[in-house]
A and B are shown apart, each in its own frame.
Chain A
Amino acid sequence: MAEVDETNTLVFQEDDHRTAYIFSPTDSAEHQAAPQNQNARPAKRRRTSKKGANAAEPDHEPQPQPQSDYHGGEADFPALFNGAESLDAVRLRRTTFETAWPVLSGRIQNVLRRANRKTLDEVALFMREAEDEAETAGGKIPAGFIITGPNIASQDLLFEQMAEGLSEATGAKVVRLRSAGAPNLKAVLKKIIRDATSRSADGGDDAEVSIGSDGRKYLNYDLEALHVFLAAHDSRRVIVAFEDSEAFDSGLLTDLIALFHSWHDRIHFSVLFGVATSVDLFQQRLLKATAQQLYGAQFDVVQADSVLESVFMGAVAGSQAALRLGPSLLQSLLERQKDQVAGVHTFISSLKYAYMCHFYANPLSVLLAEERLLTNELLQPQHLEAVRTLDSFKQHVEAAVDARQLSHAQSLLENDEYLVRQVLEQTQKRKDYMTQLLRSLHLITATGLHPGRFTDLYVSALADGIDLSSDVSPVLDSIRRLNPSQIIDLIHRLLAAISKGNPDLDLDGWEDQEESEELRSSLTEITDEVQALLDQSKLSGKPLKSKYSSQSKILRTTVVAQKVQLSHDTATLTEADKAFSTAVDNLTDLLSRFIHVDPIGSLFLHEAWVYDSKSPYRDVFVPRPATTFARALARPHDYLGCACCSKPDGGLACTFPTTSILYHLYLEAGALLNVADLWAAYYTLVGEESELALDERAALVRFYRGLAELRLMGFVKQSKKKADHVAKLKWL
Chain B
Amino acid sequence: MARKSVTDQEPVARRTGRKRVDPYEVPDETPDEAPATKRRRGPNKPKPASVQSKAEKQAHVEDSAAEDEEGEHKLTNGVSQGDGDREEQETAQPVEEPTPVKKRLGRPPGSKNGGGGTPNGKTSTPSAARRKPAAAAETPLKLNGALNGIDTPSRRNFADRSARRKSARALIDRVVGDEISDEEEGIAREIYESSENDDDDNEQESPDERDEDHPTAATTPSKTPARRGRKPGTGTARKRSPTPPRDLPPQEPYFYHNKPGRAKTSNNTLSSLDLLTHDEYFSLLRQQQQQANQHADDVRFLQSLHAESFPQWAFELSQGFSACLYGYGSKRALIHQFAHHLSKTTGTHKSPPKIVIVNGYVPTTSIRDILTILHTAIVPPSTQRLAQGNPVAMTLTFLQTLTSLPSTTLYLLINSIDAPPLRKTSPQSILAQLASHPQIHLLCSADTPDFHLLWDSGLRSSFNFVFHDCTSFAPYEVDVVDEVHELLGRLARRAGGKDGVAFVLRSLPENAKSLFRLLVAEVLAMMDDGGGNNAGDGPGIEYRMLYNKAVEEFICSSEMAFRTLLKEFHDHQIITSHKDSIGTELLSLPFRKEELEGILEDLMS
Contacts and interface: CB of A to CB of B under 8 A. Distances in A.
Q: Do A and B come from one complex?
A: yes
Interface of A: 1-10, 12, 15-23, 25, 28-29, 31-32, 34-38, 44, 46-47, 49-51, 64-65, 70-71, 74-75, 77-78, 151-155, 180-181, 183, 187, 190-191, 200-201, 203-205, 244, 341-343, 345-346, 349, 352-353, 356, 360, 619-621, 623, 625-626, 628-630, 632-633, 636, 639-642, 644, 655, 657, 659, 668-677, 679-680, 697-698, 700-702, 704-705, 707-709, 711-714, 716-718, 720-726, 728, 730-732
Nearest to B400: A200
A621 B299 CA distance: 26
Interface in B333-356: 333, 336-337, 339-340, 343-346, 352, 354-356
B458 interface: yes
Contacts of A151: 457
Contacts of B551: none
Given A153-B458, A628-B326, A16 B359 contact: yes
Contact of B299 (A4, A154, A702): A4
16 contacts: A10-B286, A74-B345, A345-B461, A360-B315, A629-B449, A632-B471, A633-B328, A670-B257, A672-B262, A676-B268, A677-B265, A701-B284, A701-B288, A704-B480, A718-B487, A732-B449
A49 B282 CA distance: 37
Given A353-B321, A700-B273, A709-B478, A19 B364 contact: yes
A151 B433 CA distance: 18
Nearest to B341: A67
B389 A203 contact: yes
B311 interface: yes
Contacts of B340: 25, 29, 32
B471 A180 contact: no
A628 B257 contact: no
A704 B477 CA distance: 13
B448 A187 contact: no
A50 B448 CA distance: 23
Contacts of B446: 625
B473 A639 contact: yes
B265 A670 contact: yes
B257 to A, nearest CB: 4
B467 interface: yes
Given A9-B285, A75-B318, A183 B392 contact: yes
A724 B270 contact: yes
Contacts of B448: 712-714
Given A9-B477, A151-B457, 17 more contacts: A4-B303, A18-B359, A19-B370, A23-B336, A34-B303, A154-B461, A628-B328, A630-B449, A659-B328, A674-B268, A676-B273, A701-B285, A705-B480, A708-B487, A714-B450, A718-B487, A731-B254
B481 interface: yes
Closest 4 A-B residue pairs measured CB to CB?
A203-B387, A670-B263, A153-B461, A64-B308
Interface stretch (B32-40, B53-61, B290-298, B492-500): B290-298
Contact of A204 (B357, B389, B426): B389
Contacts of A718: 486-489
B370 to A, nearest CB: 5
Pick the most buried of A3, A181, A619, A726: most chain B CB atoms within 10 A of its CB. A181
Given A346-B461, A352-B319, A698-B288, A22 B263 contact: no
A5 B289 contact: yes
A705 B356 CA distance: 29
A729 B26 CA distance: 27
A338 B565 CA distance: 66
Given A201-B393, A679-B273, A356 B319 contact: yes
Contacts of A725: 265
Contacts of A35: 300
Contacts of A75: 311, 314-315, 318, 345-346
Nearest to A703: B484
A37 B307 CA distance: 11
A716 B484 CA distance: 11
Contacts of B460: 153
A31 B340 CA distance: 10
Contacts of B387: 203-204
A181 B319 contact: no
A25 B336 CA distance: 10
Interface string B424-464: 01100110010000000000001111111000111011001
A632 B328 contact: yes
A343 B458 CA distance: 9
A700 B276 contact: yes
Interface string B218-250: 000000000000000000000000010000001
**Contact-residue size bin, chain B (C-beta under 8 Å from the other chain):** 35 or more
A44 B257 CA distance: 36
Nearest to B286: A10
B343 A23 contact: yes
Contacts of A8: 330, 332-333, 474-475, 477
Contacts of A7: 333
Nearest to A722: B265
Contact of A349 (B292, B304, B321, B344): B321
* Most chain A CB atoms below 10 A, which of B270, B293, B364, B477: B270
A20 B356 contact: yes
A629 B449 CA distance: 6
A621 B466 contact: yes
Q: Which of A16, A636, A668 has the most CB of B within 10 A?
A: A16
B212 interface: no
B270 A679 contact: yes
B449 to A, nearest CB: 4
B345 A70 contact: yes
A640 B467 contact: no
Contacts of A36: 304, 307
Contact of B281 (A70, A701, A722): A701
Identify which of A8, A10, A730 gathers the most chain B CB atoms within 10 Å of its CB: A8
Nearest to B297: A642
B383 interface: no
B595 to A, nearest CB: 18
Given A21-B357, A200-B400, A642-B298, A16 B337 contact: no
B265 A672 contact: yes
B294 A655 contact: yes
Given A619-B467, A625-B452, A183 B475 contact: no
Contacts of A5: 289, 293, 296, 475
A71 B345 CA distance: 5
Interface string B102-144: 0000000000000000000000000000000000000000000
B439 to A, nearest CB: 16
A690 to B, nearest CB: 13
Contacts of A705: 475, 480
A204 B394 CA distance: 10
B63 interface: no
Contacts of B262: 672, 721
B457 A153 contact: yes
Contacts of B314: 75
B366 interface: yes
Nearest to A340: B457
Contacts of B266: 674, 676-677
B309 A49 contact: yes
Residue among B289, B293, B393 with the highest chain A CB neighbour number at 10 A = B393
Given A4-B300, A25-B340, A724-B269, A19 B373 contact: yes
A47 B270 CA distance: 40
Nearest to B249: A731
B344 A71 contact: yes
Contacts of A629: 327-328, 449
Nearest to A6: B289
B79 interface: no
Contact of A704 (B332, B464, B484): B484
Contacts of B433: 180
Contacts of B284: 697-698, 701
Given A12-B477, A37-B301, A620 B467 contact: yes
